[in-house]
């Protein structure tokens, strides 16, 4: 069964909290209630239980380096677990190694964090929340490997013979003198172009697709999606904002959850409500608190790290 990041985050949070619980603690009963609330919770928990065996197949040095760093904080340990759980069903050590590599990548941001880096050729890379990126420049190519998250890239002039390429798990994006955006979604990569153009080639495609300014597309390892017009305000996060127009509430909550520390979900009963506005992603708690002033909803906190938007 395909499980979204929200549910996997909940499962990882329970795992971390239960590790330190004593027999008879109320958290055990709360955990059973959570398991019974949704069949997907049970499936996610079974994946957690299989995780330890799966990790034994990952090279020791990678496992120890990554998990050793993660143990320093609850949040980092949860993040580590979610990344590995997300790819666990893919059934390959290579996928797990890629997920773990993202946690020791050269450039990383945590939940709600953003940063800007300048590369040796003058290119600028803007990293959005929960992003991991490696940079590898050689005589022939300027290569970025995006493991997770989202980046906006403004390419420098560099050397004419040096291609500028962004690699993801699904394929590669080649810059053609440009400003463009790459985002890793669940099993696919999204690309949007603001200036000039890029060439996109999925891992197993025979031909590349050219994406011109003002357009966007998604691709997985097998194929490219049709070209679409690039939505407005896709780069608003660089200014600390999430700007939406007539979005479904569940779509909005899923996007806001990228910047929120902890699990955040939307009850199906209010999922189809519509929302518009400009929201400060630097203070997601305030955004949630103010939802009830415009919509018939409330925010219910099951734990400190697990919240749900549901009918008022």
| pLDDT 10s digits, 176-203 | 978 999 999 878 999 999 999 999 999 9
Closest CA to 290 of 271, 275, 305: 275
Q: What is the pLDDT of residues 227-282, one digit of tens each?
A: 999 999 999 999 999 999 999 999 999 999 999 988 899 999 999 999 999 999 99
Q: Are residues 92 and 177 in the same domain?
A: no
104, 119, 143 — which closes off a domain? 104
**Domain presence at residue 235:** no
Higher-pLDDT residue of 80 and 256 is 256
Report if pTM > 0.75: no
* CA pair distance 288, 295, nearest whole angstrom: 11
Q: Are residues 292 and 306 in the same domain?
A: yes
**Domain presence at residue 297:** yes
**Degrees (nearest 5) of the Cα angle 279, 281, 284?**
90
Q: What sign does the CA torsion over 216, 218, 219, 224 have? A: negative
**Domain presence at residue 234:** no
Span 163-184, mean pLDDT?
93
81, 104, 127 — which closes off a domain? 104
CATH number of the domain where residue 223 is located: 2.60.120.1440
Q: Are residues 172 and 221 in the same domain?
A: yes
Span 33-39, mean pLDDT?
91
CATH number of the domain where residue 279 is located: 3.55.50.30
**Domain presence at residue 94:** yes
Q: Are residues 220 and 145 in the same domain?
A: yes
* CA pair distance 119, 98, nearest whole angstrom: 23
Q: Are residues 113 and 225 in the same domain?
A: yes
70, 104, 138 — which closes off a domain? 104
Overall number of domains in the chain:
3
Q: What is the pLDDT of residues 91-113, one digit of tens each?
A: 445 555 566 666 667 898 988 99
Q: Are residues 196 and 208 in the same domain?
A: yes
b/e burial code for range 212-227 (CB count within 10 A of at least 16 → b): eeebbbbbbeeebeee
Q: Are residues 115 and 95 in the same domain?
A: no
**Domain presence at residue 210:** yes
Q: What is the CA radius of gyration of the chain?
A: 20
Q: Are residues 112 and 221 in the same domain?
A: yes
Which range of residues forms the domain containing residue 40?
5-104
Which pLDDT band, with edges at 50, 70 and 90, does 5 fall under? confident
Most confident of 21-35, 48-62, 88-102, 200-214: 200-214
Q: Are residues 115 and 213 in the same domain?
A: yes
Q: Are residues 198 and 286 in the same domain?
A: no
pLDDT at 57: 47
Average pLDDT, the chain: 85
């Amino acid at each position: 069964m395909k499980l979204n990041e929200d549910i996997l985050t909940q499962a990882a949070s329970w795992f971390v909290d239960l590790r330190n619980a004593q027999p008879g603690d109320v958290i055990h009963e709360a955990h059973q209630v959570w398991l019974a609330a949704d069949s997907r919770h049970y499936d996610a928990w079974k994946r957690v239980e299989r995780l330890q065996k799966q990790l034994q197949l990952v090279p020791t040095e990678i496992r120890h380096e990554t998990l050793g760093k993660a143990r320093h904080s609850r949040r980092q340990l949860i993040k580590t677990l979610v990344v590995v759980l997300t790819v666990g069903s893919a059934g390959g050590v290579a996928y797990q190694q890629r997920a773990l590599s993202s946690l020791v990548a050269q450039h990383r941001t945590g939940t709600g964090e953003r940063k800007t880096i300048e590369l040796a050729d003058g290119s600028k890379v803007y990293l959005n929340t929960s992003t991991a990126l490696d940079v590898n420049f050689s005589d022939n190519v300027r290569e970025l490997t995006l493991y997770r998250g989202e980046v906006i890239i403004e390419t420098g002039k560099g050397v004419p013979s040096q291609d500028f390429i962004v690699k993801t798990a699904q394929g590669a994006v080649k810059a053609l003198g440009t400003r463009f955006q790459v985002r890793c979604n669940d099993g696919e990569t999204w690309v949007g172009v603001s200036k000039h153009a890029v060439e996109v080639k999925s891992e197993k495609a025979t031909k590349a697709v050219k994406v011109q300014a003002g357009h966007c597309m998604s691709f997985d390892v097998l194929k490219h999606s049709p070209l679409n017009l690039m939505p407005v305000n896709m780069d608003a996060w660089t200014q600390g904002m999430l700007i939406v127009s007539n979005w479904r509430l569940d779509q909005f909550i899923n996007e806001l959850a990228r910047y929120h520390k902890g699990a955040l979900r939307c009850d199906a009963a209010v999922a189809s409500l519509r929302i518009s506005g400009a929201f400060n992603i630097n203070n997601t708690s305030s955004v949630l608190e103010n939802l009830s002033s415009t919509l018939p909803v409330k925010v219910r906190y099951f734990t400190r790290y697990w919240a749900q938007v549901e009918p008022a």
